[in-house]
Structures are given as structure tokens and as C-alpha cells.
Amino acid sequence: MPPARKFKKEDIINAAYEIVKEEGFVGVNARRVAKELGCSVQPIFHNFATMEELHKETYKKIYAKYQEHMKNGAKEEKKAYLKMGLSYIKFARNYPEFFKAIFMQKTKMDAESFVTADTEENDVIKVGQTMCKLSYEEQKKFHVKVWIFTHGIACLVATKTVVFSDEEIEVLLKESVREMLKGYVGGKEN
């Protein structure tokens, strides 16, 4: 009889990650992960005390994928703010279940806290300052408005409620942010 295959934590997390990619977290349970790995549930509970622990580790891997996506969007310096917004929407299109797991769950946070918590890793507020010429605090306030608009497009894309081409999204985001900035700066002067 061949020796039993030993599964590492990473193997189990990777299996859960693949399930979430297709089905969302609703599909992640011990039996489903075991089936994905081709084993019993024993290796899962040998490596994780609870399914909640596996969910948390899987979420970390998903969030790291999102952060990688956002950092790639920030590489183009002149248009980094726009590209980060486009990357956010592209992540929603390419990984809709990951997007839903990160950004479409219940929370008790207000909009600014939610947005600020997400920007710690990718400096989108500082990137926006370069384009908008606002103080950090003003940019943070402005970015909440931009994020709400961008998030709306991303949700429409992730849920396939509306079909947009990449070109339509770029024009919509670029023109809308430009108009929002004019209104924001003009509104402060009144």
C-alpha cells in the first residue's frame, strides 16, 4: 500500500482558494475541500483547528492577490490614480467571487473607514494627491467619493449586471473623476 500523502497547510489553502474563485466562500466546507484535494477531511483538521481558521487564511491569500493587482495598476506614474481605479474594476471583472468576498460583505464601518482601511497597502490617497493637488486630508475626503463611484462600476461588473468594454470603463471613470474634482474644488470655494 502506498504511503498516505501528507498535505501541507498551503495545499489546503490553495484548494480553498480555487473553490472561492469559482463558488465564493459559500462553497468552502471540509468535505468540498477534501474532495478538491482527493483526501478525507482528516488532513484539513490536522492543519486547521476550525474551518474559520481556514477561511481566514484563504482570505489572506485572496487579499494578497488583490493587493498585487492594485500595485500593478500603480506602476504607470502619470496616470497611476486612474490606473488604480481601472485595476480595481478589472479585479472585479477577472475575480468576481474574490471581489465579492472582499468588498461585498456586511460591515459596520462607515465609508471613510472602509476606504481608508483598504488604502493602507497601496497608497492610493497619496497617488491621488499627485493628480488632484489636494492636501492629504482633502484627498482622503475626495477619494471616498471617487471610490463610491468606482465601487459602483466594479459591483456592476462583478455581478454581470451591466456589460462595459474596457474602453467604456476608462472613459466613464476618467470623465467622471475629472467632473467630480471640478465640483469638489469649486464647492470648497463657495
For the chain, how far is it from start to end, CA to CA, in angstroms?
A: 81
C-alpha cell at 87: 485595476
What is 9-54's CATH superfamily? Homeodomain-like (1.10.10.60)
Half-sphere exposure (CA, 13 Å, Cβ side) for 33? Answer: 28
Residue range(s) in the chain whose domain bears CATH number 1.10.10.60: 9-54
Note the pLDDT of residue 155.
96
How many whole angstroms separate alpha carbon 87 and alpha carbon 155? 13
Note the pLDDT of residue 5.
64
Note the pLDDT of residue 1.
45
**CB of 98 within 8 A of CB of 66?**
yes
Placement of cell 471583472 in the chain: 93
Note the pLDDT of residue 177.
92
Mean pLDDT by 10 residues, the chain (190 residues): 72 97 96 95 94 97 93 78 92 96 87 73 77 88 92 96 94 94 74
- Compute CA distances 151 → 84, 106, 109, 118, whole Å: 12, 15, 16, 12
Note the pLDDT of residue 81.
87
